[in-house]
Structure 1
Amino acid sequence: MPFMDFVNEHKSTDGPLVLRPGDPGYEDELAGFQTGFAPRPDAVFAASSAADVVAAVRYAARRGLPVRVQATGHGLPGPSEGGVLVTTRRMDGVSVDPVARTARLGAGVRWGQVVTAAAPHGLAPVNGSAPSVGAVGYVLGGGLGILAREFGYAADHVRSLDVVTADGRLRHVTPESEPDLYWALLGGGGGLGVVTGLETGLVPVASLYGGSVSFDGRRVGAAAVLRAWEEWTRTVPEGLTSSFAAVPYPDLPALPEALRGRYVVSVRVAHTGADGDRVAAPLRRIGPALADSLRRMPYTESHTVHSDPDVPHAYYGEGAVLRELDLAGAGELLARTGPDAGGAMCVVQVNHLGGALAASGAPNSVPHRDGRFLVRLLAVGDRAAARERLDAAFAPLGPVTIGRALNFAFGAGDRTDGLWDAETRKRLALIRSRYDPASLFDGN
């Protein structure tokens, strides 16, 4: 069928909206949280149902066109040209079964929607820090959550997935029905098909102790705060989750006056135990605080622990999983990314891993579970300059790095080295060759 005949046929209410470059709505359909780059497909299938996704995949497969997927546009790997893009943002249904403690999520659901739906039942998903992030893409990359050390990766809680594979077939995938595909989807990223929805377990959490303590990085010293936090992580309960962050704010009128030109260093905490103030007391002794938001809060306020930006912008990121935190190397990284280093603004975050994250019993492909810390860098500005700065900043941690973090490789393009260990990579390749022999989904 000629392309335009296909487009016209599917512009009815019975099929997906299909857009080409120059069509009204094409640019709006591509827009997402990432503004630094975007895909430029030959055709966009704006899916509202699994049937729409089947139509898109079958169309692309018949013509040998690559297929990419976009929900919220947070974790784009890089710019792309041509092929077919399936957008899933309209598939945003959520249903909660409070008895089974599960939730059914459509492909375009954002975590904030799931938190809101689960809260009336005293339940919570194993979600990330930003409520605007798409749940499905987050889970396929593993999913490092607010309470990660207590409950593990989000991928560890998935019961089943619905996925359209390269043969145009909609499959309901469970650990029992198709164990290899289930294993590969959860942790392997998006290279095996288009996930149209999934069922995940919920956890019995209605509130938590959390927030952050922030310091002036110039006055107290970013490296000193990092050192004190690392020492503190050795003493905390097994299920307590925390992270360190360093943000050199530019001196811009658009920022709150209290942040303009300031180097803010913070420790963030999330803990379900009743002893939060006692456990966090050493953090309050690090130095004079710029702000202290540690408190007991309903889980619906858990996004305030990190207060991630909610305005779309351009950014480039990378994450290194470490076997241990080399404080000397991390200090050099802070020097290379701090306010006196020059170049593009660079945000540093260090996550404490271990706890339930280290469990290896889940039947999924989430790698690097032996890592003790994750260092994440986020740079803004020109893409080439940002990537160069990220590579230089990570260099001092090379000797203790065991791999990269798939969910935080923003703008990394086709670079896949280090995302999985050699054994996992080999098994993923074998499964991909079985389910996608023509490499229809390689761009994901």
Structure 2
Amino acid sequence: MELQTSAADATIASLRAHLNGSVSLPGEPGYELATPWNLAIPVAPRAVVAVADADDVAATMRFAAQHGLRVAVQRTGHGAVALRDDVLLVHTGQLNGCFVDPLGRTARVGAGTIWQDVLDAAAPHGLAPLTGSSATVGVAGFLTGAGIGPLVRTYGLSSDQVRAFDVVTGDGEKLRVTPDEHAELFWGLRGGKATLGIVTAVEIDLLPITQIYGGALYFDGSDAVDVAHAWLDWCRDLPEHSSTSIAFLQLPALPQVPPPLAGRLTLAVRFASVAQEHEAEDLIARLRAVATPLIDAIGVMPYAALSAIHADPVDPMPVHEFSGLTGPLSHEAVDALLAVAGPGSGSPQTVIELRLLGGALAREPRHRSAFCHRDASFALMGAGVLTPPLAQSVVEHALVVEQAMAAWTTGATLPNFAASADPERIARSYDEDTVAWLSALANEHDPRGVLRIGQVVRTPA
């Protein structure tokens, strides 16, 4: 067995001669790039290929096809799935160029760039990319999952702002993909994750935004019932210039956690608006009046500080996540959620979030995409840290939450909230026609199944 492993390693090491980047086998410097953000996911590929350019990606694809291997891709490891030793993991961290065209209001961004770098590059020009709630995730993985951000009701999906992709398909072909060039791939790359290839660069539109009115109100758990019900009523006539979510939080007593929030149940009301300050302030005043916040962190803020609204964790940790989409919610639904997430529930989850959708998201953009379920009313998401002694209860309680909300959830979810290699779970992000089209395109552009790994849409082998 050791001889077979050594021979396999020697074969993979021979890939080095064809790359400008590097190949790292287990135990070698660079292999640590395989570590995902979610430390509960066993990511142990045969080798990590730190690509330096699109040619490296193409060479890796061809090599994998020749030797019966598969290829996965990672930047930050958000949304990682389990990988074994029949996989080469392409790490895109060196593809980190970011070039802003202030006159054209566009940016060309390498697939290995994180969103904060794009925010910082665009801000001096009075421009901004449409990002997600965390600016520490990679650009390409977020956009191929369509991208739901704090301003989703105002501007729609982040992937709707994509102008072009540079992509390497499973058969090693480098393509520029636009609405006019390889239009079928342009459709599928926006929502299909890595099904149709590995993105090496994207061109996106930038928005003329320098600041917003936003942040979060943090209420004590004892006020969660009143605030959650008031929030639901408030959502019903919330204008499209504003987006919001609520999150039941149980944050640990760590140095980075504000003392008023540490070691207790709190309810955060997240808010982001491009309305005039007085108009946005009048809106949020309705919720400020329900109860006295422990922390009031809503006000005018630089757009480049958008991540502060959700304050998502940055450091890797082992977590269990669940998610789903709902139709319209009633106060009965809020009561059901409070029973499993609110005061007295005994919830072990670190966060359970309910995010208002609709608005611009509900309308089809100029260029259709593989993203489905635009008619969803809310997104439900939860995550708990898998550390003793709560690890087992976190997993079990996630099922309790899903069962409690089953009367209102649709069975669907969002691509960026469905990290799994389970075909049935992956299919929840799409309708039947989209699954069929993505599968057919994948078989056309990856006939040898090099990319048949992880969160991709493929027909059974």
CA distance in 1, matches of 2:421, 2:282: 41
Say if 2:169 and 2:196, in contact at 8 Å, map to a contact too: yes
Residue in structure 2 matching 1:145, options 149, 158, 164: 149
* TM-aligned CA distance change 1:11 to 1:312, over 3 Å: farther
1:19 is matched with which residue: 24, 45, 59?
Answer: 24
| Superposition map of 1:357-372 within 5 A | 357-361=361-365, 362-372=367-377
Instruction: Mark the CA change 1:395 to 1:145 in structure 2 (over 3 Å): closer, same or farther.
Output: same
- Identical positions, percent: 35
2:208 to 204, 210, 220: 204
CA distance in 2, matches of 1:369, 1:100: 29
User: Residue 89 and residue 331 in structure 1: after superposition, are their counterparts in 2 closer, same or farther (change >3 A)?
Assistant: farther
**Aligned CA distance change for structure 1 residues 80 and 319 (closer, same or farther; 3 Å):** farther
Deviates more, 1:331-340 or 1:266-275: 331-340
2:418 pairs with 409, 414, 417, which one? 409
The alignment of Structure 1 onto Structure 2 pairs a total of residues equal to: 440
Amino acid at match of 2:441: I
1:337, distance to aligned residue in structure 2 (A): 3.5
Which of 10, 15, 31 pairs up with 2:16?
A: 10
Stretches of structure 1 that go unaligned for 5 or more consecutive residues are none
Q: Contact 1:246–1:263 (CA<8 Å) still a contact in 2?
A: yes
Match of residue 397 from structure 2: 389
What is residue 226 of structure 1 aligned with on the other side? 228
Deviates most, 69-78 or 383-392: 383-392
For 2:179, which of 172, 175, 181 is the aligned residue?
175
CA distance in 1, matches of 2:284, 2:343: 28
Q: Which moved more, 1:324-333 or 1:425-434?
A: 324-333
Q: Does 1:375 align with 2:380?
A: yes
Cα distance in 1 for residues equivalent to 2:302 and 2:255: 33
Residue 186 and residue 378 in structure 1: after superposition, are their counterparts in 2 closer, same or farther (change >3 A)? Answer: same
Q: Are the counterparts in 2 of residues 40 and 82 from structure 1 also a CA contact under 8 Å?
A: no
Normalising by structure 2, what TM-score? 0.89
For the residue of structure 2 that corresponds to 1:243, the secondary structure is: strand
Name which of 406, 421, 428 aligns with 2:431. Answer: 421
| Aligned match for 1:352, one of 349, 353, 356 | 356
Of 92-101 and 233-242, the range deviating more from structure 2: 233-242
CA distance in 1: counterparts of 2:100 and 2:284, whole angstroms: 34
Post-superposition Cα deviations, 1:179-203, rounded to whole Å, max 9, x if no partner, equal 1111111111111111111101111
3-state secondary structure, aligned to 1:105: strand
Superposed CA RMSD: 2.2
CA–CA distance in structure 2, aligned partners of residues 384 and 433 of structure 1: 39
Q: Cα offset for 1:23?
A: 2.3
SS of residue matched to 1:89 = coil
Task: Give how far 1:336 is off.
Answer: 2.2
User: Within 1, Cα distance between the matches of 2:342 and 2:420?
Assistant: 21
| Alignment CA distance shift 1:93-1:332 (3 Å) | same
Aligned AA (1:167): D
Post-superposition CA distance 1:178-227 (Å, at most 9, x none): 11111111111111111111101111111100111111012x1x233221
Task: Give, as a single letter, the amino acid of the residue that structure 1 aligns with 2:323.
Answer: G
Letter of the 1:367 partner, please give it. C
**Which amino acid in structure 2 is aligned with residue 368 of structure 1?**
H
Deviation at 1:100?
A: 1.2
Trace 1:113-152 onto structure 2 (pairs within 5 A): 113-152=117-156
Q: TM-score, normalised by structure 1?
A: 0.93
- C-alpha distance in structure 1 between counterparts of 2:89 and 2:16, whole Å: 15
Partner of 2:260, secondary structure, is coil
Q: How does 1:244-263 map to 2 (within 5 A)?
A: 244-250=246-252, 255-263=257-265
1:346 and 1:331 map into 2 onto residues whose CA distance is 19
Rate the CA distance shift 1:336–1:160 in 2: closer, same or farther, 3 A: same
| Contact 1:72–1:134, Cα closer than 8 Å, also in 2 | yes
Matched residues in 1 for 2:267 and 2:428: separation? 29
Alignment map for 1:28-107 (pairs within 5 Å): 28-107=32-111
Residue 307 of structure 1: CA displacement? 1.5
> What secondary structure is seen at the aligned counterpart in 2 of 1:92?
coil
Return 5+ residue gaps in structure 2 as ranges.
Answer: 1-6, 455-461
3-state SS of paired residue (1:319): strand
